[in-house]
Amino acid sequence: MLLLCLSLFQSLASAIWPIPTHYKHGDTVLCISKHFRFDWASKSDHFDDDGFYRYSWSEAYFQPQENESNHHKPPTREHIVRYAAYSAHDTIFNKNFVPWKFHPRSWTEPDLFNIPCISRVQLHLLQEDPEDVARPLSGSIDESYSLSLTEEGEATISANSSIGVVRGLATFTQLFSKHTLGAAYTRLAPVYIYDAPKFPHRGLNLDVSRHFFPVSDIMRTIDALAYAKMNRLHLHITDSQSWPLEIPSLAKLAEKGAFRPNLVYTVKDFEELQHHAAIQGVQLITEIDMPGHTSSIYHSYPDLVAAFDIQPDHYTYAAEPPSGTLKLNSTAVYEFLETLFDDLLPRITPYASYFHTGGDEVNKNAYLLDDTVRSKDFAVLQPLMQTFIDRNHEQLRKKGLTPVVWEEMLLEWDLKLGEDVVVQSWRSDEAVEKIVEKGHKVLVGNYKFWYLDCGKGQWLNLDSNDPGQYQDYCAPYHNWRAIYSHNPLTNIPTSKQHLVLGGEVHLWAEQTDPSNLDQMVWPRAAAAAEVLWSGAMDAEGNSRSQKEAAQRLSEMRERLVRMGVGAEPVQMPYCTMEGGCGA
């Protein structure tokens, strides 16, 4: 038996993305039976002689027991583990690939005759799930797992929560390749893994207002996020360009504010998205950005919005057209928000602990045109903004939700935010330092590294012939290496690092629609997934090797493509076949 530590074994792909905390494997080939069975044991109130409650799963349980779209309750431990087991089986046998790109031209596939086959996978749930398993606060779920696969084909995954089992099963599928003859096999036995995430918040922020994305596109994105062990999908669901979210008690909002009446997430769509995310250990975090970025409300409630669509100098009133902001000192706006939140929040609380109230890029000039204020004086506006945020956050807290805000609310508006509030940073690493200095929990996502939309050039039509004007504000395009190089803990003192909950990569959708969504997100979001799950540094405290990562990310990309996600290639096959393309 040959047992190799990963660090000694960098030239061949070692299969797993993101890289586990502890990972040892050998080079024995094992097949896996298409009829392999899950045995499931969990500690519970009903103890067997050895302290475990047991029952076996037969093949019948590979299908989710209930039609997922038919139940409207948050998933339980049983739903979560069954769905993960079903997905793992489906991935290994139906979404796998022949790994010729990861071997030299002379490679021949292993002979699978007369070798041991895996016939069952034991799943051990070592502890009860916390009550909020379907809507965890950062840190409340233990996502760690251990995985062992012996040379004889005994496979065991142990975890302290059902979500840990989900993460362990994602890893398990990545040990297997497809054989040209149809079977699936691993060439890595024996395997010993202990794995746990570095950060509890690992997400993608997807803007579904600048372009509309059908539910199926978001579902596929959720599947890919879970497969990369990301656990948050932040939906920037409304903005100035469109309001695609159905709010039954304010029906005109979507009827008039969406691009077309059918380009709307209905109450049912929204529930299904949240459920599909939660069952895979992904929390869907909804953002209604305000008070700026709200001019789509004007189409249904014109009296609530100031400085609507000022032309031609929209720059004076908003970061991008159309300008418009919720009035800042208006009883009517407060009544509207009360109704909006009373409708929306109860549909969110079964699936999420967080709600994002936005707060980026609020333009002070716009309040010169706000008849409830008529001022751009910070001393006048700041207390009104404080009242606005306090009102919103109080209503969230009453519903059991924790507020998230963009960094400007703290750093530019100098608001007093509750200790519970999570501040999402986007403008710089220095901003992250300031936020933790003020004692707040923070999400990183420096636009110079983690904005996925950058580098496509200007989308506004300009009169200028100056080539420099054609650049977008955050050019160039950040390829996966730039994303991978960003350390969320840059310059954060050890004593404050616990405040960095993790981060998100961001896709603002001015130039992205369903036709290029997958290419814009994948595999680059997976690069951030590894930074957030495994940390930016390796076990020796060095920045992770791009050369080693490129092989594994290339393999992850093949798996995403087989899942139906149009991820872009990482490298030429020449590089992955011949052991890297180092500079």
Ligand X SMILES: *[C@@H]1O[C@H](CO)[C@@H](O)[C@H](O)[C@H]1NC(C)=O
Residue from 14, 91, 160, 274 binding ligand X (CB under 6 A): 160
Copy the structure tokens of residue 297.
């409300």
Instruction: For residue 446, give the nearest of 493, 412, 409, 489 by alpha carbon.
Output: 489
8-state DSSP, 516: T
Give the residue, chosen from 42, 144, 295, 446, that forms a contact with ligand X under the rule CB under 6 A.
144
- How far, in Å, are 335, 484, 504 from residue 200 at the CA level? 35, 18, 11
CA–CA gap between residue 116 and residue 300 (Å, rounded): 66
Question: Shortest approach of ligand X to residue 196 CB, angstroms?
Answer: 7
Q: Does 171 bind ligand X (CB under 6 A)?
A: no
Give the span between the Cα atoms of 465 and 24, in whole angstroms: 58
φ/ψ of residue 69, rounded to 5: -75, -5
Rg of the chain over Cα atoms, rounded to whole angstroms, equals 25
What mask, x for binding ligand X by CB under 6 A, covers residues 72 to 111? ----------------------------------------
- Residue 66 bears catalytic tag: no
The count of residues interacting with ligand X (CB under 6 A) is: 15
Q: Which residues of 409-445 are buried (b: 16+ CB within 10 A; e: fewer)?
A: bbbbbebebeeebbbbbbbebebbbbbbeeebbbbbb
> Between residues 66 and 111, which has the closer beta carbon with respect to ligand X?
66
Beta strands in 43-103 (DSSP E): 53-56
Site for ligand X in 309-348 (CB under 6 A): 329
Catalytic residue, candidates 128, 151, 361, 433:
361
Indicate whether 70 belongs to the interface with ligand X (CB under 6 A): yes
Instruction: Please tell me the distance from the alpha carbon of residue 266 to that of residue 269, in angstroms, as a whole number.
Output: 5
Is 372 or 545 the residue whose CB approaches ligand X more closely?
372
Is residue 145 near ligand X by the rule CB under 6 A? yes
Q: Do the beta carbons of residue 318 and residue 294 sit within 8 Å? A: no
Of 140-148, 309-317, 360-368, 548-556, which part binds ligand X (CB under 6 A)? Answer: 140-148
Nearer to ligand X, 126 or 577 (CB): 126
Q: What does the per-residue mask of binding to ligand X show for 369-408, with x meaning CB under 6 A?
A: ---xx------x----------------------------
Shortest distance in whole angstroms from residue 126 CB to ligand X: 6
Q: Which is nearer to ligand X, 142 or 239 (CB)?
A: 142
Among 28, 96, 146, 323, binds ligand X (CB under 6 A): 146
Cβ proximity to ligand X, 7 vs 387, nearer residue:
387
Q: According to DSSP H, which parts of 174-280 are helical?
A: 215-227, 252-257, 267-278
Choose between 142 and 223: whose C-beta lies nearer to ligand X: 142
182, 166, 149, 183: which is closest to 88 by C-alpha? 166
The catalytic residue positions are: 361
List residues binding ligand X (CB under 6 A): 67, 69-70, 126, 142, 144-146, 158-160, 329, 372-373, 380
